[in-house]
Amino acid sequence: MSVPAIEPAIAAVQAAAAVCRHVQRSLDALRAMTKDDASPVTIGDFASQAVVARALTQAGIMRRGLIAEESGAFLKQPEHQTHLEACLAALHESGAWPKPTADDLIAAVDLGDADPAALTSSEGGWTLDPIDGTKGFLRGEQYCISLAFIRNGAVELGILGCPNLAPTSPPRKRRTTSDFHSQAGSISYALRSQGAFELNPEHPTAPTRLSLPPLPADHPARLAESVETAHTRKDIAADIMSRAGPVGPSINMDSQAKYALLARGDADVYLRLPSRKGYIERIWDHAAGMLLAQEAGCTITDIRGKPLDFSHGRGLETNAGILGAPPALHTRLLAAAREVLKEPLA
């Protein structure tokens, strides 16, 4: 059975990116309307999920629903009528879904409550993070729409729509986080065993193949890490990095956009350590990004060297942390992690 057609899936992510851009441009107005500083990302999450679910359904490539974060129950509550109206307006004004009804919107959002068993079936299923990088979205910085198709527990297709991430430039040339910001945005995608690619908005019919450039042995490795300290153990990550060889300045960025940097060679290491014992990563936070970096030539495992296992429902139940890097550097980092981590992470 073949992987679902890539074109309608990319179109779904592009439509979600359009509505998310609209919401991000309207942050102040939406905060004033809802009297809640976090409401804009809530509105964006619902709008993005609805657009993707609707598009995949209309294209005939989503048979068993979508495994995603949001439920339409929130929008049905009378006290959230303002959020519902704002979501409908954002969909219409962005052009992502002209003139949706409230019932249609809620029904589309509820398609995200599919049975995770689809992901381990021969038919496969989809998983979505409608806005990955909540804090980045609210700060007007990096976030992404992350869509992946998983079959028999393996990620076969991954798409990252990054509305604020500049397209590829010569690798390892950018120096600061702000250098990666562009309102043009970019979309990256990967097909299992077929490679990783990036779509440049200025050349939408000519995708660029992503393939890691050679990494010199004395190259100061750059870590792409979360802005939020609650997402990882930055102190331990710094110790691991220092033991594995020369270290360059870190790139602080929200969302799976970090995986896109890794796939392009703009960053050299993705290292995420559980911030508390027993923490379980969600599949939608890593599926698309992992495949993208992997197909570009990176090695992606957990911090113990185990492949990421997407056969346990909504969580990476058998994994602890994430480590991604070019193969030789990954080997050094894994050895360093074993030196540093004396106790199990989860």
Q: Residue 257: which of 100, 141, 95 has the closest Cα?
A: 141
Residue 132 is a catalytic residue? no
Under DSSP, the state recorded for 221 is B
d(CA 189, CA 179): 22
CA quadruple 45, 165, 90, 7: dihedral, nearest 10: -80
Among residues 34, 42, 45, 168, the one annotated as catalytic is 45
- Under a CB-based contact definition with an 8 Å cutoff, are residues 264 and 199 in contact? no
- Under a CB-based contact definition with an 8 Å cutoff, are residues 126 and 112 in contact? no
Among residues 134, 232, 299, 301, the one annotated as catalytic is 134
- Under a CB-based contact definition with an 8 Å cutoff, are residues 302 and 336 in contact? no
Query: Phi and psi at residue 212, in whole multiples of 5°?
Result: -60, 130
The residue type of 246 is: P
- Under a CB-based contact definition with an 8 Å cutoff, are residues 254 and 136 in contact? yes
Residue 103 is a catalytic residue? no
Residue 108 CB contacts under 8 Å (≥ 6 apart), including other chains: 49, 50, 51, 53, 54, 57
Catalytic residues: 45, 134
